[in-house]
Structure 1
Amino acid sequence: MEEHFVWVTTRRIRPDTLEDFERAWRPEPAPQGLRRAYAYWSEDGQEITGVSFWDSQEACDAWRSSEAEAQRRAAMTPYVAEEREGFYRGRELGVPQR
């Protein structure tokens, strides 16, 4: 099975800031080594979980320590009340077909 390298961030944002936060959140240009990225948000729009898949842990670490990521985080800061993150390795689970 193929192994995945995944960075997950969960942020609680300040009320009524979802649109502003989303503009600040999207990296430009896309980081090197990023395969896919997903965003999931709570019904009230105040908690957002980002899940990104990377070529390797080194590619993710290079992005996380880059000036572009520092600027992106600075742009998000006014909207973020709380943040948690983690880096994981894993694989797809086989789901039985019915």
Structure 2
Amino acid sequence: MKEHFVWVTTRRIRPGTLNDFENAWRPATHPEGMHRAFAYWSQDEQEITGVSFWDSEEACDSWRASESETQRRAAMASYVVEEREGFYRGRELAIPGAGRG
């Protein structure tokens, strides 16, 4: 099974700021080494979890140390109340019977 490298960030944001936060959250350029990115938000729109898939931990670290990422984080800062993040390795789960039918 293919191994994935994933960066997960969960942020609590100020009430009523989801649209503005999302505009600031989107990077100006496509990060090198990133395959896909997803954003999920809570029903009250105050907690957003971002999940991005990377070639490697080094590719993710390189983006995180970049000037583009520094600028992106600065643009988001006024909306963010709390932030947690982590980098993970893993693989897709094989669920018996899923997709078969």
Alignment of 1:54 with 2:48, yes or no, is no
Please give the alpha-carbon distance, in whole angstroms, between the structure 1 residues aligned to 2:96 and 2:64: 36
Identical-pair percentage:
74
Structure 1, residues 11-70: CA drift from partner, whole Å, max 9, x if none? Answer: 000000001000000001110000010000000000000000001111000000001000
Q: Unpaired segments of 5 or more residues in structure 1? A: none
Alignment of 1:1-98 (within 5 A): 1-97=1-97
Structure 1 stretches of 4+ with a deviation exceeding 2 A read: none
Q: Which amino acid aligns with 1:78?
A: S
Q: TM-score, normalising length from structure 2?
A: 0.95
Q: TM-score, normalising length from structure 1?
A: 0.98
RMSD value, Cα = 0.7
Please give the alpha-carbon distance, in whole angstroms, between the structure 2 residues aligned to 1:88 and 1:20: 28
SS of 2:81's equivalent? strand
